[in-house]
Structure 1
Amino acid sequence: MRSVVIYPDQQAVANATAARLGVTVADVIARRGAAHVVLTGGTVGVGLLASLATSPLAELIDWTSVHVWWGDERFVGAGDPDRNEGQAQEALLRHVPLPEENIHRIGNSDDFATAEDAASAYSAEIADHGGPGWDVLMLGMGPDGHVASLFPDHPVYAAAGDAEAVAVHDSPKPPPTRVSLSLASINRAREVWVVAAGAPKADAVARGLAGDRTLPVAAVAGTERTLWLLDAAASTQI
């Protein structure tokens, strides 16, 4: 069952999602003792992290009980501005008392010879933490309906294996080499949040909500809740 919430514009999506994330994480920690959150990149994904960093809700979270993961990463050097983890660091992580050992970064091309090696290491790190059922897994969505680095008609999406993380080559969106959580790993999340804004995404939103599984966004679902957080422009074809 998918729930859809529509906000007036992109900034409203970022601000409201930040507030929702803050409350959800605090509640999860109170119930379970720790929260495992999977972050996304992109304009809205980074914007919501920046909004949370300045929110009073950030002060209510026991950050020592939060574990941060990523849905995908660009396989480039550690300091490359394309890396999602660096953007998240600037937007939120350096502003909150999150222990370094709770930040689970996907490997970079300085430390690993291949994306396959980085994916294998990330899979091992996930296993070392018990293969957590992610409490909140956030996904941006491209105009083509891709999520994380799972693209329509790409062999990695079509393969749909059980590995936690997979290497992606020849991505249609640069940079071409990436590491992504697999569909199986994404769909282990208790809550999956698809965050999308802008008129260019309206067609993919409509097709995804209609269940067109040629689009990866249509194939993702949380075990407890699947939430689509949209702005008005992205919702015009629903």
Structure 2
Amino acid sequence: MTNARRVLVHPDSDALIGSVAARFITKTIDLLDEFDEINIVLTGGTVGGATQRAVRDSAARDSVDWTRVHFWWGDERFVPAGHPDRNDVQAREALLDALPTPESNIHAFPASDEIPDIDEAAAAYAAELRDAAPHDALYPRFDITFLGVGPDGHIASLFPNRDITNTGAATVIPVLNSPKPPPERLSLTLPVINSSDRIWAALAGADKAPALGLALAGATANEVPVAGVQGRRRTVFFVDQAAAAQVPENLIASTY
């Protein structure tokens, strides 16, 4: 199977969100036919949250055996547990609280009031990844990783001009002095993100067009982090018309 990057363009953000939600449910059913359990990496952000709500509200939602799905996050804001800015809080409200997924299958990053030292918090999440990994691997097999993309091209909490390709063997890193508030965050590293079988990045709005265009036209990952995204089997950018304005024509796909 090819791992070429492709762009699927939708008329508007509502069509984009509905399409991603429907594809997610269908693909999850297919994956659970193949594997006993699967691992999904969630993202925050406007489109991420809206997609999660669309999955929750779908008539097909209960076709999935959610008890066999493990949820992880690509990054998290290092704030106290229950804080409304946390991606896991948003995901619970949008989707997870409506699912029968066991609490043990929901792998949230440590909060700042649980492990106050951010380096220790990063190490704790790395250990949780390792505990869920097969054999001597450092992290589990990720089946789908959802990514949002900022107007500056950042993914998870990997920001431009931060040397994101030089993280050594780390799987989780502390992020200090983030250009977006709050200043302290935790993030998976780029190699861990790219270990996913499928990366699904969803972007909406004209403010995302320059970064996506640069990423697909040859910018480096350190310049535009989304340029470094490459899933093992598939890498798909789900975008609306506005976000697709600067995408090279040859990368636009008619189907998934």
TM-score over 0.5 (shorter chain): yes
Give the fraction of aligned pairs with identical amino acids, expressed as a percent. Answer: 46
Aligned length in residues = 237
Paired residue for 1:226, among 211, 220, 235? Answer: 235
Secondary structure class of the residue paired with 2:26 = helix
TM-score, with length taken from structure 2: 0.91
Confirm or deny: 8 A CA contact 1:190 1:223 kept in the other structure.
yes
Runs (4+) of structure 1 exceeding 6 A deviation are: none
How far the C-alpha of 1:160 sits from its partner, in A, is 3.2
How far the C-alpha of 1:115 sits from its partner, in A, is 1.6
Confirm or deny: 8 A CA contact 2:76 2:109 kept in the other structure.
yes
Counterpart in the other structure of 1:143: 151
Secondary structure class of the residue paired with 1:226 = strand
Runs of at least 5 residues in structure 2 that lack an aligned partner in the other structure: 134-138, 248-256
Counterpart in the other structure of 1:63: 66
Paired residue for 1:2, among 1, 5, 10? Answer: 5
CA deviation string 1:63-105 (max 9, x = no partner): 1100000000000011211100000000000011111000000
Distance 1:208 1:86 in 2: 30
How far the C-alpha of 1:62 sits from its partner, in A, is 0.5
Counterpart in the other structure of 1:154: 162
Confirm or deny: 8 A CA contact 1:44 1:196 kept in the other structure.
yes
TM-score, with length taken from structure 1: 0.97
Distance 1:4 1:191 in 2: 14
Higher helix share: 1
Counterpart in the other structure of 1:34: 37
Counterpart in the other structure of 1:97: 100
How far the C-alpha of 1:9 sits from its partner, in A, is 1.1
Q: Read off the aligned partner of 2:201 and give its amino acid letter.
A: V
Counterpart in the other structure of 1:236: 245
How far the C-alpha of 1:158 sits from its partner, in A, is 4.6
Confirm or deny: 8 A CA contact 1:75 1:108 kept in the other structure.
yes
Runs of at least 5 residues in structure 1 that lack an aligned partner in the other structure: none
Alignment RMSD (CA, Å): 0.9
Counterpart in the other structure of 2:195: 188
